[in-house]
Amino acid sequence: MGTYKDLLIYKKSFSLAMEIFVVTRSFPKEERYSLIDQIRRSSRSVNICSVEAYRKRRYPNHFVSKLTDADMENSETQGWLEFALACEYIDKDTYEKLLAQSGEIGRILQYMMDNPDKFGAG
- pTM of the entire predicted model: 0.94
4-115 has which fold? Answer: de novo design (two linked rop proteins) (1.20.1440)
pLDDT digits (tens, 9 = 90+) for 18-73: 999 999 999 999 999 899 999 999 999 999 999 999 999 999 999 999 999 999 99
Domain ranges of the chain: 4-115
Backbone angles phi, psi at 99, to 5 degrees: -65, -40
